[in-house]
Amino acid sequence: MEIQLISGVFTIAEAEELLTAIFKTKIAFHENKIRTIHELEEDIKHSERRILNLQETLRKAIRKLKESGQTHTNLNAHIEVSTASRLTP
C-alpha cells in the first residue's frame, strides 16, 4: 500500500517546517529505540549512525532550498507499506 503523505507547492519556509517535522519524528523514533529497546551495542550504533545521517540530510535539503533563490518549491512524499515476516537490516 502506498500512502501519499505530502503533495503540493509550498513556500521555502513551509517546506523547511514540514521537512524538519518529519525528520524530527524519525530522529525521535531512533532516540527512543536507543533508550528503550536496543540492547546490543551494534543496534545502538546503527541508530546513532542513522540519526547523524538524518540530521545531515535535513541540513543539506534546507540549505539547497534556501540557496535555490526561489520562493516556492514542490514537495512530494510517499510512504510504501508492506508486511514482512521478520526484521531485516
pLDDT digits (tens, 9 = 90+) for 35-74: 887 678 888 889 999 999 999 999 999 999 999 999 999 9
* Rg, C-alpha atoms of the chain: 16
The whole-number average pLDDT for the span 2-26 is 97
Q: Exposed, middle or buried by CB within 10 Å (0-12, 13-18, 19+), for 10? A: middle
Question: How far is Cα 72 from Cα 18, in angstroms, rounded to an integer?
Answer: 13
pLDDT at 87 over 80: no
Check residue 84 and give its pLDDT.
Answer: 86
For position 89, what pLDDT does the model report?
57
Cα distance between residue 38 and residue 44, in whole Å:
6
Using CA atoms in the order 43, 46, 52, 58, what is the torsion angle rounded to 10 degrees? -110
